[in-house]
Amino acid sequence: MRRDPPHRWSPEEIHRLIRGYQGAAVVAAAAELDLFARLGAGPLSARALARRAGCRLRGLTALADALAAIGLLRKRAGRYSPSPGVADVLTAGGARTALAMAQHQANCARRWLQLARVVKTGRPAERTPSVRGAAADQAAFIGAMDNTSAPVADAVVRRVGPLRFGRLLDVGGASGTWTLAFLRAQPRATAVLFDLPAVIPMAARRLSAAGVSGRVRLVAGDFARGGLPPGADLAWVSAIVHQNSRAQNRRLFAKVFSALVPGGRIAIRDVVMDEARTRPLAGALFAINMLTGTEGGGTFTLRELQEDLRAAGFAGPRLVYRDEAMSSIVVATMRPGRQ
């Protein structure tokens, strides 16, 4: 069998890789300052935009010119306006908004820049709030989860398998994106959404707007410190396990097991790594995100997830869908005779 020769990296390729942060930093700064929304009423000069954004003129001018050079802004006669389609993606009210994800990635970038120190010391990066403040950063994180999950939620839920359930437990359910998808898939079911107290009002607003408040019970709590609401026959654990160490996941799975009715199932959505931990690429990079942001989080192999689910009492853990990013799905059922 003929094998292609290994890729030989050139200095130019390394330089492009090293400079990759520059465009990302420009977009992140514009998102944190909400510049595209501030241009929504019409083109503005640098001076007018700086005044509206509460920024110094020199810095705002350099940022706006860089955005124009990238192509996200148009500059005509000294006035700036968003390029076609940009407002749809980088304003809060855009039809395809990813503004919250852009703001969240800015927070991640501040941690990633400390990567060498994290690797050397073994401690997560220091958290520095954005110019928007810590509360706004948390809201951006919750919004970012909806930005990425909402477009794929219905398709992912269908991959879980037979959707015969009466009550869903959405563990760490954020603003309700996945709860909504499951309730759309099973119109007669109800759900319990469990998350931190600061998140529950965000979920209440989204679920109310969707007209399903009567089918969802919102429960505030912290699964790291206490138990989970009982009575569900399907537990959904979406983008949670990567935040934990394996020991923490075993404790979480045991709590899920205790919360389920006999015969209940758990479905986990997350990255699933190959045994070498180099594929998928998105998972290897996401492990760095968890290294900089958590005490023990990471991305795990199927074997590790299976071992941890069995240790908590679940049977038959299996991969039902493999994704190149966050939407691989592992399901397991309660072991007969255990409760």
Q: What is the DSSP string of 32-94?
A: HTTHHHHTTTS-EEHHHHHHHHT--HHHHHHHHHHHHHHTSEEEETTEEEEPTTHHHHHSTT-
Closest to 334 measured CA to CA, from 235, 250, 238: 235
The answer to whether the beta carbons of residues 332 and 315 sit under 8 Å apart is: yes
Tens-digit pLDDT profile for residues 152-203: 999 999 999 989 999 999 999 999 999 999 999 999 999 999 999 999 999 9
CA 251 to chain centre: 22
Tens-digit pLDDT profile for residues 39-92: 999 999 999 999 999 999 999 999 999 999 999 999 999 999 999 999 999 999
Of the pLDDT bands very low, low, confident and very high (cuts 50, 70, 90), residue 339 is: low
Of the pLDDT bands very low, low, confident and very high (cuts 50, 70, 90), residue 35 is: very high
Q: What is the CA radius of gyration of the chain?
A: 22
The answer to whether the beta carbons of residues 262 and 251 sit under 8 Å apart is: no
Closest to 170 measured CA to CA, from 147, 202, 187, 192: 192
Check residue 90 and give its pLDDT: 98
Check residue 266 and give its pLDDT: 98
Check residue 157 and give its pLDDT: 98
Q: What is the mean pLDDT of the chain?
A: 96
Residue whose tokens read 């968890």: 290
Tens-digit pLDDT profile for residues 120-151: 999 999 999 999 999 999 999 999 999 999 99
Question: Does pLDDT of 337 surpass 80?
Answer: no
3-state SS class at 262: strand
User: pTM for this one?
Assistant: 0.93
Dihedral sign from CA coordinates of 130, 134, 139, 141? positive
Question: Does pLDDT of 2 surpass 80?
Answer: no
Check residue 221 and give its pLDDT: 98
Check residue 338 and give its pLDDT: 55
Distance CA 207, CA 259 (A): 23
Enumerate the domain spans of the chain.
11-92, 151-334
Tens-digit pLDDT profile for residues 272-303: 999 999 999 999 999 999 999 999 999 999 99
Of the pLDDT bands very low, low, confident and very high (cuts 50, 70, 90), residue 233 is: very high
Of the pLDDT bands very low, low, confident and very high (cuts 50, 70, 90), residue 4 is: confident
Check residue 3 and give its pLDDT: 73
Check residue 198 and give its pLDDT: 96
In terms of residues, how long is the chain? 339
Q: Which CATH architecture has domain 11-92?
A: Orthogonal Bundle (1.10)
Check residue 336 and give its pLDDT: 62
Mean pLDDT on 220-239: 97
Q: What homologous superfamily is domain 151-334 in, according to CATH?
A: Vaccinia Virus protein VP39 (3.40.50.150)
Amino acid, res. 191 = A
The answer to whether the beta carbons of residues 274 and 303 sit under 8 Å apart is: no
Mean pLDDT on 103-108: 97
Of the pLDDT bands very low, low, confident and very high (cuts 50, 70, 90), residue 335 is: confident
Of the pLDDT bands very low, low, confident and very high (cuts 50, 70, 90), residue 5 is: confident
3-state SS class at 218: strand
